[in-house]
Structure formats: structure tokens, C-alpha cells
């Protein structure tokens, strides 16, 4: 299996450069939450520390119900069947293993956006399938049995660009996929972080939204993570939901392989999914950081593109991304080069909002 080099290693010299700044590094390269896990979630975890028995790979009925009601309440998606819900050990492992769990292998194509989270590519390689970045469905060219994807990844809001795909766009993708017998997996982990006017339940449409799929979840999987919305990246708390038959197939292998979310984490997930207040509070924190950072970057001659939603500012100065990474490292600010996300990102950098207010202040004053 040919896995790509771990891209973050190539950022090490820039990290060193940024760290030598007199005021210390402002690390905006990785989207790892920096604020405390909310009390409501920690309490649920703590109260579940007696976990002497094996947990269910399928998740407790209460957790699967909580996911279904979260979809109804937060995503304008009322018809998720709790039988079609499965907790995962964070969403990265599901992204990395989904092609394998679906039985894909040599000769099968896995398609994903041309600027994308690198694990879609990795997952195809782990399965021995062929990764296929694509600008649009038409970019796949004439479909033959050799080029037609078996699995299509959608990521809205996008990491790294922050683009949100509207209902009409997703509906076209679903119709196309159904015509060609393609499974669609939609990674929606930034759905709660919509920065546009009028943001609210359903403003970032889920692939499971009836406006998108006409009321049928056949061939569709939504992937969601609590890492960002609830500051629980260290818990490894996520789920996949949708087509009951597909989810059962995943469950079958996962229970044999011991891919089980620990029971205390399942309990914490129920608490997190049932409480909207902490999600709103965290979003407000990111919103303030985003506004200040955006103004400072624009004032310093950078252009922010897309970035309608999510945890990043997709930024360019119309130069090679490594030049931008270097210029910002000289000011003690570390960002991720767009090339980590594919050749389409070579002239952008991805700037995360995941730093404390104090560090964001430092970045803002260095950009002035
Ligand atoms: C698009 C996307 N999908 C999945 C993940 C993985 O999240 P986790 O494994 O914490 O659930 C990330 C994390 O940054 C991401 O950006």
C-alpha cells in the first residue's frame, strides 16, 4: 500500500521559524479545539466511569435516538431512522476505513473534491482502491466501468475552503449517484459553524435532508463529528447515519473487528447532542475570533475566499502557498499550506480559528 508522506512533517521548519518570534508562536495550522470541553459533557462522561461491561458497537438505543432527534432539530432532517445510526471512534477512522468496510478494492474508484481533507485519499489507498480528486461530476469524464466511482465523498462545509453546497447542488449529486449506482458519503462535521446571515437549522443542508434526496436515504451516508462543535476531539466521538442496509453492513464488520466507541463516550455524546447551548456558546467564540482575524488579514493585503462556514479562513495573496506560509511564519504565525489539500490549493493557505483569544490578539497585532 502506497500511503502519502505525512504532510505536516514538511511544516516543521516553519514551525521552528514561527516559534522563534519574540512573542511566541501563534499556531493556526491545525484545527484542534483549544477551549475547554463543556461541563455538561464532562459531567456525563464522569458519571459513566463505571463501565465494567463491553459496550455495544451499534451504540446504545439512547445514543441512536439522540442522533435522530439531533438531525430533526439541528439539521431540518426529520426522518433519520435510529436503526441507521452507528457511532464511530471519531470520524477520521470512519473516513479512512469506509472504502474497506464497503468492500471496495483494486480497480474501484473513490472520488472526492479536488481540494479536500487528505483522509479521503488515504481511505481509498488503505482499501487498495484508486483515489480520484475531482472538480465536478462532469470532470470525471465519460463514465465507463473502469472510471465510474463506487464511492463519492462530499464535504460541506468544506475543509479547507469553507464552501457550503446548497440543496440544489446536493440534489443533483444524489440524482447522478443514483443513476450510476454510486454510494454518496457526506462529511458534514462543520455544519454547526455557518457564518452566513440566516444561518440556522437546515442552512447547511445534510445529504439526508428530504429536500436533497426526495425522502429516501438509499445509498446515502452522513458522517458527523462532535470534535469541533463540542470541543471533544480527545474523546473520539462521531457517528455515521443514513441508509439502514449500508449501516448494517458497516456494523457487521465493526463489531467483529472491535471498532467500538467506549460506553462513557457514548453517554457523553448523548449529553452533547441534547444540549444546544454549549454549541451556540462555542460558535460565538469562534465568530469573534474569525471577525478579528479576517479584518487583520484583509488589512494586511490578504484575500479571504469562500469561508462561508467552518473553522478556517481560506486565504491567498496570489502567490505560491509556501511563500505565504513563510511570510506569516516570519511574523510568528503558523498556517497550513493549501497544497496539503491537493494541487487545487497551491495558491492558498488555510488559517484555523482554533487559538485562544490571547493568541488571536497577538496575530492581529502582528498583522497590523
Ligand atoms: C473534513 C473533516 N472530516 C473529518 C475530520 C475528523 O474529525 P474527527 O476524527 O475528530 O471526528 C476532520 C478533522 O479535522 C475534518 O476536517
Please report, in tens digits, the pLDDT of each residue of the chain (368 residues total): 788 878 888 999 999 999 999 999 999 999 999 999 999 999 999 999 999 999 999 999 999 999 999 999 999 999 999 999 999 999 999 999 999 999 999 999 999 999 999 999 999 999 999 999 999 998 888 889 889 999 999 999 999 999 999 999 999 999 999 999 999 999 999 999 999 999 999 999 999 999 999 999 999 999 999 999 999 999 999 999 999 999 999 999 999 999 999 999 999 999 999 999 999 999 999 999 999 999 999 999 999 999 999 999 999 999 999 999 999 999 999 999 999 999 999 999 999 999 999 999 999 999 99
159 lines ligand 1 (CB under 6 A): yes
The grid coordinates of residue 55 equal 459496550
Distance between Cα 299 and ligand 1 center (Å): 30
Q: Let me know: does 15 contact 334? Beta carbons within 8 Å.
A: yes
Look at residue 224 in the predicted model and tell me its pLDDT: 98
95 lines ligand 1 (CB under 6 A): yes
225 lines ligand 1 (CB under 6 A): yes
Instruction: For 346, list phi and psi in degrees, rounded to 5.
Output: -65, -20
Distance between Cα 352 and ligand 1 center (Å): 13
Cα distance between residue 55 and residue 361, in whole Å: 44
91 lines ligand 1 (CB under 6 A): yes
Distance between Cα 94 and ligand 1 center (Å): 10
Distance between Cα 168 and ligand 1 center (Å): 25
The grid coordinates of residue 27 equal 499556531
Where does residue 169 rank: exposed (0-12), middle (13-18), buried (19+ CB within 10 A)? middle
- Closest-CA residue, ligand 1 atom 16, reads 159
* Ligand 1, atom nearest to 95 Cα: 4
Cα distance between residue 235 and residue 99, in whole Å: 24
* Ligand 1, atom nearest to 233 Cα: 10
Distance between Cα 365 and ligand 1 center (Å): 30
Look at residue 361 in the predicted model and tell me its pLDDT: 97
* Ligand 1, atom nearest to 117 Cα: 1
350 lines ligand 1 (CB under 6 A): no
pTM more than 0.75 = yes
Cα distance between residue 328 and residue 29, in whole Å: 11
Cα distance between residue 13 and residue 16, in whole Å: 5
264 lines ligand 1 (CB under 6 A): no
90 lines ligand 1 (CB under 6 A): yes
Ligand 1, pocket-test mutation among 121, 189, 207, most atoms within 8 A of CB: 189
Q: Let me know: does 238 contact 98? Beta carbons within 8 Å.
A: no
* Ligand 1, atom nearest to 116 Cα: 1
Q: Let me know: does 207 contact 84? Beta carbons within 8 Å.
A: no
186 lines ligand 1 (CB under 6 A): no
Look at residue 8 in the predicted model and tell me its pLDDT: 87
87 lines ligand 1 (CB under 6 A): no
Which residues face 314 on adjacent strands? 305, 350
Distance between Cα 189 and ligand 1 center (Å): 7
Cis peptide bond N-terminal to 52, omega within 30 = no
pLDDT tens digit string along 34-54?
999 999 999 999 999 999 999
* Ligand 1, atom nearest to 225 Cα: 11
Distance between Cα 267 and ligand 1 center (Å): 21
* Ligand 1, atom nearest to 158 Cα: 1
Amino acid at each position: 500500500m502506497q500511503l502519502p508522506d505525512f504532510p505536516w512533517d514538511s511544516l516543521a521548519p516553519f514551525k521552528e521559524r514561527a516559534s522563534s518570534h519574540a512573542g511566541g508562536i501563534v499556531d493556526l495550522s491545525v484545527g484542534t479545539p483549544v477551549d475547554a470541553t463543556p461541563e455538561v459533557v464532562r459531567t456525563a462522561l464522569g458519571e459513566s466511569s463505571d463501565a465494567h461491561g463491553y459496550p455495544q458497537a451499534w451504540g446504545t438505543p439512547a445514543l441512536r435516538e439522540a442522533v435522530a432527534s439531533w438531525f430533526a432539530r439541528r439539521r431540518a432532517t426529520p426522518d433519520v431512522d435510529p436503526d441507521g445510526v452507528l457511532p464511530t471512534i471519531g470520524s477520521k477512522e470512519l473516513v479512512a476505513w469506509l472504502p474497506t468496510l464497503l468492500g471496495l478494492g483494486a480497480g474501484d474508484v473513490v472520488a472526492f473534491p479536488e481540494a479536500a481533507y487528505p483522509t479521503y485519499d488515504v481511505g481509498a489507498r488503505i482499501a487498495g482502491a484508486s483515489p480520484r480528486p475531482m472538480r465536478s461530476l462532469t470532470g470525471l469524464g465519460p463514465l465507463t466501468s473502469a472510471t465510474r466511482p463506487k464511492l463519492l465523498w462530499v464535504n460541506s462545509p468544506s475543509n479547507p475552503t469553507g464552501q457550503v453546497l446548497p440543496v440544489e447542488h446536493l440534489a443533483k449529486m444524489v440524482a447522478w449517484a443514483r443513476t450510476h449506482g454510486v454510494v454518496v458519503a457526506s462529511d458534514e462535521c462543520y455544519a454547526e459553524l455557518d457564518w452566513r446571515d440566516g444561518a440556522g437549522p437546515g442552512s447547511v443542508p445534510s445529504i439526508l435532508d428530504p429536500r436533497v434526496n426526495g425522502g429516501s436515504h438509499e445509498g446515502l451516508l452522513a458522517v458527523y463529528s462532535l470534535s469541533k462543535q463540542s470541543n471533544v476531539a480527545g474523546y473520539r466521538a462521531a457517528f455515521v447515519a443514513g441508509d439502514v442496509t449500508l449501516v448494517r453492513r458497516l456494523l457487521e464488520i465493526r463489531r467483529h473487528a472491535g471498532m467500538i466507541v467506549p460506553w462513557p463516550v457514548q453517554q457523553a455524546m448523548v449529553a452533547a447532542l441534547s444540549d444546544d447551548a454549549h454549541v451556540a456558546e462555542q460558535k460565538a467564540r469562534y465568530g469573534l475570533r474569525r471577525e478579528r482575524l479576517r479584518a487583520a488579514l484583509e488589512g494586511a493585503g490578504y484575500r479571504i475566499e469562500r469561508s462561508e462556514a467552518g473553522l478556517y479562513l481560506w486565504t491567498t495573496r496570489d502567490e505560491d502557498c509556501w511563500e505565504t506560509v513563510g511570510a506569516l511564519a516570519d511574523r510568528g504565525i503558523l498556517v497550513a499550506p493549501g497544497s496539503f489539500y491537493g494541487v487545487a490549493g497551491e495558491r492558498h493557505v488555510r488559517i484555523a480559528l482554533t487559538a485562544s483569544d490571547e493568541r488571536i490578539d497577538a496575530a492581529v497585532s502582528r498583522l497590523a
